């Protein structure tokens, strides 16, 4: 039997889906074919800020999966609403690529040094706010389109710079055609929850052999990190396009999370950094609540489950951000 993998039609979506298809074919011993599907987000020319967090890049694909027109889907995780439909499961999150944003220019001028009136293209409210904080002298122009068309607008002089995801450029081969890339550090410029990661989704009642094959593609550290990032977004009750930057990583048993909520105009921000221990230490080394230094007795209920720990951490960060004033900055919109 040939497995049918549903994907968006863009060059980037096809490239990353083919990577998953090849890995799944090797794990399952079955052929995997791509099934291109046009999503609402691909058809609409509206600004990302207007489209909001309604899952415009995922809904049509999910409908095809539930209708039996494909067996699994590959999404860019940052495009998925945080609420998971009960009929579907994210069966694998492969190892994440570079989560950073990059600034693309003709001559390598850093974003902070671009001259007054320089035009920077991006359609992301988060990136718009970050650009305005980094360099208030520039003008920001709303931007849609695929990676090649965005690069062409810089190359042709229509734009002085664009902001793109490093992972997308890498998956397309990394050829900038003579343009220059400035990677933006995640400490000062956290990106969208889940950026750089893929989500492989199938039905909750999928064949056990398919679920087992997909589980072999899952990267535990990536799943834990993106779970924390998406829990922050869910706790803020904000959509996928909200001006929220968050990045988490697992290092030596610690989960480190940085989250920042921006005002849409970039004038204000509220941020929080937190590091928690994922691995449960021996009983004689545990603090109150089960973890060293923990003051939250409920943490003990997480046991040794890193996903539960990541979820709790993300929700707690969101609560603290709201208490510190983030509620006045982020557009609230319960995502479906």
Supply the residues annotated as catalytic.
79
Evaluate whether 226 touches 219 at the Cβ level (below 8 Å). no
Crossing angle of helices 11-28/208-215, nearest 10°? 110
* 172 DSSP 8-state letter: T
- Token representation of residue 57: 């890049």
Residue whose C-alpha is closest to residue 276's, from 209, 227, 334: 227
* 117 DSSP 8-state letter: T
List, in order, residues 6 or more apart from 208 with CB less than 8 Å away: none
* 85 DSSP 8-state letter: P
Evaluate whether 278 touches 250 at the Cβ level (below 8 Å). yes
* 223 DSSP 8-state letter: H
Q: Is 59 helix (H, G, I), strand (E, B) or coil?
A: helix
Q: Is 76 helix (H, G, I), strand (E, B) or coil?
A: strand
Q: Is 14 helix (H, G, I), strand (E, B) or coil?
A: helix
Cα 132 to Cα 265: distance, rounded to the nearest angstrom = 7
Q: How many residues does the chain have?
A: 336
């Amino acid at each position: 039997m040939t497995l049918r993998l549903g994907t968006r039609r863009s060059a980037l979506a096809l490239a990353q889906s083919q990577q998953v298809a090849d890995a799944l074919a090797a794990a399952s011993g079955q052929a995997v074919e791509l099934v291109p599907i046009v999503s609402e987000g691909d058809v609409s020319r509206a600004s990302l800020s207007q489209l909001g967090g309604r899952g415009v890049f995922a809904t049509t694909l999910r409908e095809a999966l539930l209708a039996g027109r494909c067996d699994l889907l590959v999404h860019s995780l940052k495009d998925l609403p945080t609420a998971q439909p009960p009929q579907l499961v994210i069966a694998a999150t492969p190892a994440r690529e570079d989560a950073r944003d990059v600034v693309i220019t003709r001559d390598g001028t850093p974003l902070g040094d671009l001259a007054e009136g320089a035009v920077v293209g991006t359609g992301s409210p988060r990136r718009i706010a970050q650009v305005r904080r980094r360099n208030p002298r520039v003008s920001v122009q709303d931007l849609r389109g695929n990676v090649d068309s965005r690069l062409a607008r810089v190359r042709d002089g229509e734009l002085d710079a664009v902001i793109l995801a490093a992972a997308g450029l890498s998956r397309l081969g990394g050829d900038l055609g003579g343009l220059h890339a400035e990677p933006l550090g995640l400490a000062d410029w956290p990106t969208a929850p889940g950026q750089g990661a893929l989500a492989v989704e199938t039905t909750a009642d999928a064949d056990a052999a398919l679920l087992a094959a997909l589980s072999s593609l899952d990267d535990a550290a990536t799943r834990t990190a993106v779970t924390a990032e998406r829990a922050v977004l869910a706790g803020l009750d904000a959509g996928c396009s909200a001006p929220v930057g968050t990045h988490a990583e697992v290092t030596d048993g610690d989960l480190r999370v940085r989250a920042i909520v921006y005002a849409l105009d970039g004038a204000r921000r509220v941020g929080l950094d937190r590091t928690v221990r994922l691995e449960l230490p021996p009983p004689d080394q545990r603090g109150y609540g089960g973890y060293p230094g923990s003051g939250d007795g409920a943490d003990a209920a997480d046991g040794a489950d890193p996903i539960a720990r990541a979820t709790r951490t993300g929700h707690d960060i969101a609560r603290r951000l709201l208490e510190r004033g983030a509620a006045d900055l982020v557009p609230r919109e319960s995502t479906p």
